[in-house]
């Protein structure tokens, strides 16, 4: 890795994860509020086919000064690797150095399949994408003959302005342990997934450490922010139901995430049958929600009162998360920011 990459503060960092529930104007105001309150990072989802993960970051960069901004995550199938590097370079030009963080994931089926993407060879494809993206951001001239990525005499063509190495670390957003091993070997960081349990984290860290050792590094060389669903409300039942809706969608549509955390295959199958795959309509999701017990909600999310949420986030931190990236499901997102602005430990 280049020495231009930022050195991460391993302390009490906290971030916010934004999806598409709220308008972009509302999110712009929230990001400004988060920066004012001392929140460290914003990660923008590229959710389904609802909202891309790049455009909002440019808007956030234009209205903030210091908060770090990451893609959580774009995929490595629909953007050429050179375009990924070019995009991150442009975002850094807008935001300034040491603020942009590039999160890349392997996408998901059935969406990928529905738009003609064959995700066979996902591990190899990710390795090639990460390697080449890092080299391009280091302003190297790249020739690369891979199975999925081919480059011949390619470099970022910066004529006007700073042409030095970019300060953009590359993260892999993965859930499976083989992908996490790969992340430990090649990436600057692992954007660990949500809707997993703290117990899952222990296995994930083992995989990251195995990959890091293979790459001549240690686990401490891998930055480890983690997406964490946070459904906060003074009404506990309301908080649990908000999280239950999201869990139902993911159990039915991305069951590999739940399986990694030890959710029973019987429950996964039952919920999948109830909602009928992707996309699911509102009535199907409501039917599936009735199958999700409270203990599963508590296992996979930080849900409940402010103190219950803080306590659960501490569990994730004790299990290897270095920066909780909180996905706010409650109606009062400012409340969640206020509760975590001074840290969680």
Q: What is the pLDDT along the chain (345 residues), one digit of tens a residue?
A: 444 455 444 458 999 999 999 999 999 999 999 999 999 999 999 988 899 999 999 999 999 999 999 999 999 999 999 999 999 999 999 999 999 999 999 998 888 899 999 999 999 999 999 999 999 999 999 999 999 999 999 999 998 989 999 999 999 999 999 999 999 999 999 999 999 999 999 999 999 999 999 999 999 999 999 999 999 999 999 999 999 998 888 776 677 776 777 788 888 888 778 777 666 777 878 888 888 899 999 999 999 999 999 999 999 999 999 999 999 998 899 999 999 997 766
Q: Using CA atoms, how far apart are residues 149 and 229, in angstroms rounded to an integer?
A: 34
The 10s digit of each residue's pLDDT in 41-78 is: 999 999 888 999 999 999 999 999 999 999 999 999 99
Task: Report the largest interatomic distance among the alpha carbons of the chain, rounded to a whole angstrom.
Answer: 59
Residue 234 tokens read as 């003074």
Rg (CA), the chain: 19
pTM of the model: 0.91
Q: Report yes or no: 100 and 69 within 8 Å, Cβ to Cβ.
A: yes
Cα–Cα nearest to 40, from 104, 102, 99:
99
Q: Is 316 helix (H, G, I), strand (E, B) or coil?
A: helix
Q: Using CA atoms, how far apart are residues 96 and 111, in angstroms rounded to an integer?
A: 34
The 10s digit of each residue's pLDDT in 190-228 is: 999 999 999 999 999 999 999 999 999 999 999 999 999
Q: Report yes or no: 172 and 155 within 8 Å, Cβ to Cβ.
A: no
Q: Using CA atoms, how far apart are residues 263 and 256, in angstroms rounded to an integer?
A: 10
Q: Using CA atoms, how far apart are residues 251 and 263, in angstroms rounded to an integer?
A: 9
């Amino acid at each position: 890795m280049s020495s231009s990459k930022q050195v991460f503060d391993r302390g009490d960092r906290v971030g916010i994860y934004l999806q598409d529930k709220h308008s972009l104007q509302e999110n712009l105001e929230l990001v400004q509020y988060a920066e004012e309150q001392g929140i460290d990072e914003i990660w923008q989802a590229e959710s389904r086919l609802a909202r891309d993960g790049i455009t909002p970051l440019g808007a956030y960069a234009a209205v903030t000064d210091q908060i770090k901004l990451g893609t959580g995550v774009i995929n490595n199938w629909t953007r050429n690797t050179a375009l990924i590097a070019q995009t991150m370079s442009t975002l850094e030009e807008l935001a300034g150095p040491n603020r942009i963080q590039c999160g890349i994931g392997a996408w998901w089926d059935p969406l990928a399949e529905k738009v003609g993407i064959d995700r066979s060879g996902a591990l190899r494809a990710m390795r090639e994408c990460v390697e080449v993206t890092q080299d391009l951001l280091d302003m190297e001239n790249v020739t690369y003959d891979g199975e999925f990525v081919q480059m011949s005499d390619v470099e970022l063509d910066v004529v006007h302005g700073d042409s030095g190495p970019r300060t953009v670390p590359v993260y892999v957003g993965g859930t499976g342990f083989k992908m996490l091993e790969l992340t430990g070997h090649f990436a600057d960081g692992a954007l660990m997934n949500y809707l997993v349990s703290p117990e899952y984290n222990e296995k994930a860290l083992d995989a990251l450490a195995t990959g890091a050792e293979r790459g001549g590094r240690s686990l401490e060389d891998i930055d480890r922010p983690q997406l964490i669903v946070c459904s906060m409300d003074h009404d506990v039942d309301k908080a649990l139901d908000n999280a239950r809706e999201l869990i139902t969608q993911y159990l039915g549509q991305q069951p590999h995430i739940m399986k990694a955390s030890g959710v029973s295959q019987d429950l996964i199958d039952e919920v999948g049958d109830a909602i009928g795959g992707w996309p699911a309509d509102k009535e199907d999701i409501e039917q599936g929600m009735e199958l999700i017990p409270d203990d599963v909600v508590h296992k996979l999310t930080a849900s409940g009162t402010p103190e219950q949420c803080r306590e659960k986030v501490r569990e994730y931190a004790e299990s290897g998360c270095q920066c909780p990236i909180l996905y706010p499901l409650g109606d009062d997102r400012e409340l969640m920011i206020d509760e975590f602005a001074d840290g969680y430990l």
